[in-house]
Amino acid sequence: MFAVRTIVAAIILSALAGPALADAIDGNWCHSDGRRFSIRGPEIVTPGGKQMEGQYSRHWFNYTVPAPEAGAGETIFMTLANENTVHLRRGEQASGNPQETWVRCAPSISALPALPRS
């Protein structure tokens, strides 16, 4: 009887366990127009490909756009909306600049582990 209870408890706990969801802005982000950026702690690879540092928190990131990228000198503010969405704006919120929505990039084929040869 003890073994049956243990098995039932294990099944129930397994059913309740879900995938771990990201609760940090770190990762690879994509825009619908093809632009991409990547954040790892205080480091960012900008949409223009420049690797640099910015101001980092688990739920937000800010950096100044480097030359020669479009908008050089502007500050970019990013806020994690949920596990898969970042809201990005250029300049201060009061400036009236529109907010952009970015989503986590899907894994690329090159990021998938290679299968062993048969």
Within a domain: 114: no
Within a domain: 57: yes
Of 53, 34, 30, which is closest to residue 104 (Cα–Cα)? 30
Amino acid 85: pLDDT: 97
Residuewise pLDDT in 10s, the chain (118 residues): 656 565 544 454 444 444 444 589 999 999 999 999 999 999 999 999 999 999 999 999 999 999 999 999 999 999 999 999 999 999 876 567 789 999 999 986 665 565 566 5
Is 0.75 topped by the overall pTM? no
Within a domain: 14: no
Within a domain: 63: yes
Within a domain: 3: no
Of 45, 74, 81, 44, which is closest to residue 60 (Cα–Cα)? 81
Count up the domains in the chain and report the number. Answer: 1
Host domain of residue 55:
22-107
Residues 56 and 39: beta-carbon distance below 8 Å = yes
